[in-house]
Chain A
Amino acid sequence: MSKLVKSILISSALLSGAGFGATLVSADDSGKFGLGREATPAEVAAWDIDIRPDGQGLPVGSGNVLDGEELYTNACAVCHGDFGEGVGRWPVLAGGHDTLTHERPEKTIGSYWPYLSTVYDYVRRAMPYGDARSLSDDDVYAITAYLLYLNDIVLDEDFVLSNENFLEIRLPNERNFTPDDRDQEPFYAAKTEPCMTDCKDGPVQITMRARILDVTPGTVDDDAAAGVGGVD
């Protein structure tokens, strides 16, 4: 082999070989890339604040109705009203019993929410609005106890809510939640070809016009004009 050929072979071996240190990346046999690091127990504890209906995540602690009333009055009533009735368009928290079939249902903790754990979890993670995570675990127990009292689910002013008795409280509307069965609705279940011609008898009549309400932004002089419905 000539010197020239040898040197070409050597350089091409270098170019194609391990000299540049790159192979295609792929996960190992266990599906891992070796990225990230293990979370410390303190890190997990700092962020893992969620509560489930079976009580998983509930911290040790307690709070009573009267302490809850004081906390609520100071931190919550400005938006939710002294009795959970809601100020303006802020959420109503209490009342609304037996209104779910009405034209204007009032969906409150007592009338609609299925699980008490949701109240504890939400107050703990997101309330008071604009000052989240400022309440102690006992504060959240107390506020939750007061919300039960406002909803007539507990009647005793001396009631104490704790991680010990939390699961004994059931909200009245729990059984009224059902799985998604939209696929059984007639227009989906049929899966028939829709009508293309002469689908209605005679000229189509207008039955409702948006301008009767006219709540579109920029179309009304009175800024207080408000329509119905909501996004939340």
Chain B
Amino acid sequence: MTETKGSGSTNLSRRSLLKAGLAGSGAALATGALPAAARAEGDPLITEIQDWNRYLGEGVQARPYGTPSQFESHVVRRDVEWLTASTESSVNFTPLHELDGIITPNGLCFERHHGGIAEINPADHRLMINGLVDRQMVFTMEDLMRFPRENRVYFLECAANSGMEWRGAQLNGCQYTHGMIHCVVYTGVPLKLILEEAGLKTNAKWLMPEGADASAMTRSVPMEKALDDCLVAFKMNGEALRPEQGYPLRLVVPGWEGNMWVKWLRRIEVGDEPWHHREETSKYTDLLETGKARRFTWVMDPKSVITSPSPQAPVRHGKGPMVISGVAWSGNGRITRVDVSIDGGRNWQTARIDGPSLPKAMHRFYLDIDWDGSDLLLQSRAMDENGYFQPTKNELRAARGENSIYHNNSIQTWYVQADGTVENVEVG
């Protein structure tokens, strides 16, 4: 299956782009599409008065809850139908290729449910603390809103993000290869305060958060983490959690795999041993080549991906100035550096990180290049403040084999061809 770069037809990729409706919208944007005659007279979008310049637009309250422009209707979460048996226990993906900055809009945050979206009136919601506490307690949402609260920005990544790529390049688009992640600002109560309200017994070592949904999701969380930086959150990006993100209450477990961030949080049991429930035994354990499996692999290690150009965001402008844009994150803390290669990992340049650099939050990086129009093999490599950097796909497979599914944080390669199409590839 080895090919040298540049060989082979690009027809399929073009057809794919047209079917996805991406190439069509792109053509209208390009100034090159203007006929020669029109160019001589000037751009009619400038020389002729446009409707939006003449007639009144909609007034205030026409859109009491604002939505994106009609011209952004393609910017949506998407799923991969063949991946799961039912939509209620499934996943969709954040359109990373359409986003910039570090904050994910609430309506675009990927979804992962195990029993569908629970619809809960906050007046009917309760949080119970039971087990190894001095006093087993019940809190209403109103009670929780009276604790001192904090605002913190964190990424949430599903442990299975990039899981379909363990055995090789498979999906064309960073939405599918890397889109099980989002990053928002949470408002919530430090879990520590709620646990102290109930009073921890001296042998309290583990927590078991539980969801109120039809899967009654449970995970075991060690006490050190709970007392360190976990939040019980009720807002994201300033507004109430979206139903698909656990409205009215979810657990925030910064830097650790998304499955632990229990949504529709209704109970926290305190214990002296982990529970070894379904989502931490049969799932979310990492089967190695030896047949052994790692468990309690909580931290999401450093990872990055170039979001543009990428297969769903091809280059439409030809050679000249090009913005290479991407995101990086690490469950170990801040991203200290992102290197970008345009030749498949032979040579690297350090990219520019722009915007806030917060621990366990998404980071935005850019590399501004002057493209000569030749083929590129784009890669990005993140380093975190723990001194870890992303392994290559081959390094990761050498260490873990191909059956791990979870925690694939290896370096992604995009093959940018002279015509601007971009493909997900692997390199030697």
The residues of A with any CB-CB pair to B shorter than 8 Å are 25, 27, 30-33, 35-39, 43-44, 47-48, 50-54, 56, 79, 88-90, 100-101, 103, 105, 107, 109, 112-115, 117-118, 121-122, 125-126, 129-130, 132, 176-182, 185-188, 191, 194-200, 203-219, 223-232
Q: Mark B259-302, 1 if CB is under 8 A from A, else 0.
A: 00000001101010101111001110101011111111111010
Known contacts being A210-B170, A210-B172, A227-B82, is A204 close to B377, with CB within 8 Å? yes
Interface: B381 (CB within 8 A): yes
Quick check: B424 and A210 within 8 Å, CB to CB? yes
Contact A180–B295 (Cβ < 8 Å): yes
A35 contacts which chain B residues (CB < 8 A)? Answer: 139, 143-144, 146-147, 197
Q: By the criterion CB–CB under 8 Å, are B137 and A231 in contact?
A: no
Would A204 and B346 count as touching, CB distance under 8 A?
Answer: yes
Give the residues in chain A near B425, CB-CB below 8 Å.
Answer: 206-210
Asked whether A206 lies within 8 Å of B427 as measured between CB atoms, the reply is yes
Interface residues of B (CB under 8 A from A): 1-5, 8, 12-13, 16, 19-20, 78-86, 88-91, 112, 114-115, 128-131, 135-140, 143-144, 146-148, 158, 160, 163-173, 176, 180, 193, 196-199, 208, 210, 214-216, 218, 266-267, 269, 271, 273, 275-278, 281-283, 285, 287, 289-299, 301, 311, 339, 343-348, 377, 381, 383, 387-389, 391, 395-396, 399-400, 402-403, 405, 407, 415, 423-428
**CB of B186, distance to nearest CB on chain A (Å):** 20
B275 touches A50 (CB 8 A): yes
Partner of B297, one of A182, A212, A215, A226: A182
Could you tell me if B164 and A229 are in contact, using CB atoms closer than 8 angstroms?
yes
Give the contacting residue for B169; candidates A52, A115, A210, A226; CB below 8 A. A210
With A196-B348, A204-B343 already in contact, 7 other A-B pairs whose C-beta atoms are closer than 8 Å: A39-B128, A109-B282, A194-B348, A197-B347, A204-B427, A208-B168, A228-B164
Complex contact A44–B128 (CB within 8 A): yes
Minimum CB–CB distance from A189 to chain B (whole Å) comes to 10
By a CB distance below 8 angstroms, the chain B residues around A206 are 2-5, 377, 415, 425-428
Establish whether residues A205 and B428, one from each chain, have CB atoms under 8 Å apart when the complex forms. yes
A199 and B19 contacting across the interface, CB-CB below 8 Å: no
If the complex has contacts A36-B137, A223-B81, A229-B170, are A199 and B347 also in contact, measured as CB distance less than 8 A?
yes
Q: Which 9 A-B pairs rank lowest in CB-CB distance, beginning with the nearest?
A: A204-B344, A226-B82, A229-B164, A210-B424, A31-B196, A208-B426, A187-B391, A219-B16, A89-B85
Which of A37, A47, A129, A181 is B294 in contact with, Cβ under 8 Å? A181
